[in-house]
Amino acid sequence: MLSRKGIIPEEYVLTRLAEDPAEPRYRARERKARFVSKNGNCNVAHKNIREQGRFLQDVFTTLVDLKWPYTLLIFTMSFLCSWLLFAMVWWLIAFAHGDLAPGEGAAVPCVTSIHSFSSAFLFSIEVQVTIGFGGRMVTEECPLAILILIVQNIVGLMINAIMLGCIFMKTAQAHRRAETLIFSKHAVIALRHGRLCFMLRVGDLRKSMIISATIHMQVVRKTTSPEGEVVPLHQVDIPMENGVGGNSIFLVAPLIIYHVIDANSPLYDLAPCDLHHHQDLEIIVILEGVVETTGITTQARTSYLADEILWGQRFVPIVAEEDGRYSVDYSKFGNTIKVPTPLCTARQLEEDPSLLDVLTLVRGPLRKRTVAVAKAKPKFSISPDSLS
């Protein structure tokens, strides 16, 4: 368009036809797909399932797993269909006995006050939900009507038990409690007791405790076996350390859970330059325990990709003692500060411990300078004249 208006000569206008097709094009590599999202949902799509009938063998679990609109639709349709079905049965009984034609039927009807399908439908509702308005009732004239009355009551009780149980289980699902179990947005790698450690923070917002809480961690990455087999999601368990010892934790206040990166750790060769979104690395953290108020086992999950791991940082303290009790400041839950950390792998640090001495030399003069400045500017001074 610019060349047509004479602003730019045509020989300087670049078009896609003038591009060299042999010149390679480079595209930015997409970020690695998560296996577990930050909110704990598993990012897995199940396709081409041929044996769909297996879901019908466990109807109750299938109903609980459905979304709320479908559950409420099935809840409503189950009652409506049962009312309509038995209304048709009551209407057929009245029709066969001749109760629908006034003056032509028997002196004692099977069900009183049934003259049409509408009245049979109302009687079906009254029987199943035990309303009993008093205008319609079963007589001793027809034994079949008595049998249908028993069958409808049993069917109504079964529908009530299944559907109300399904609604209760959906409202009391374990993942609802997991909404108040929080993890830090980022994980960190820093020195602790002279060794590189992978650390994260976990907390519980509710006062009700999680009994027998345990925490597990897995590394998920794509690997290839020596035989050439490609494993797209290779899961490796790695131990988590805490102050109590083992995987059990006492989650009353937020805790920093850490993993010591040693020779048995899959993070043994992880370097700071590897912490980018192209790295095929995902660390999954699973917190599991029993809810104190309901006794239901709950599980909270999260994951950290390579670019969500901060090297050379640690979490700031958020627990303080105030007025005889401990106070937790959740506004600083995910805050971190930079700390001196060697920019090498755990393997290199173990092979060359002198790297820690370099950090000690760097931190030493800073501490001495602070003390010297403090001594150079005392808060109080005493003159000789005041002593005399």
- The pLDDT tens digits along the chain (388 residues) read 444 444 444 444 443 333 444 544 545 456 678 888 888 888 888 888 887 777 778 888 888 888 889 999 999 999 999 999 999 999 999 998 888 876 654 578 888 888 899 999 999 999 998 887 778 889 888 999 999 999 999 999 999 999 988 888 888 776 778 888 999 999 999 998 888 999 999 999 988 888 888 889 999 988 888 888 888 888 888 877 655 555 778 888 899 989 999 888 899 999 999 888 778 889 999 999 988 888 888 889 999 999 999 999 999 999 998 888 899 999 999 999 999 998 888 898 888 877 777 665 545 444 444 434 344 444 444 444 444 4
Q: How far apart are CA 221 and CA 234, in angstroms?
A: 5
Q: How far apart are CA 77 and CA 110, in angstroms?
A: 28
Cα 324 to Cα 153, 250, 251, 294: the distances in Å are 61, 21, 20, 31
Q: How far apart are CA 307 and CA 276, in angstroms?
A: 4
Token representation of residue 296: 């239901």
| Domain 177-362 in this protein, CATH class | mainly beta
Q: How far apart are CA 312 and CA 189, in angstroms?
A: 6
Q: How far apart are CA 173 and CA 388, in angstroms?
A: 81
**Can you give the residue ranges of every domain in the chain?**
52-172, 177-362
- Find the radius of gyration of the CA atoms of the chain: 36
Token representation of residue 283: 């660390």
The tokens 């090297």 sit on which residue? 311
Cα 181 to Cα 83, 94, 246, 251, 297: the distances in Å are 44, 60, 20, 10, 13
Q: How far apart are CA 240 and CA 189, in angstroms?
A: 14
pTM over 0.85: no
Specify the CATH architecture of the domain 52-172: Orthogonal Bundle (1.10)
Q: 52-172 and 177-362: same fold?
A: no
Q: How far apart are CA 107 and CA 95, in angstroms?
A: 14
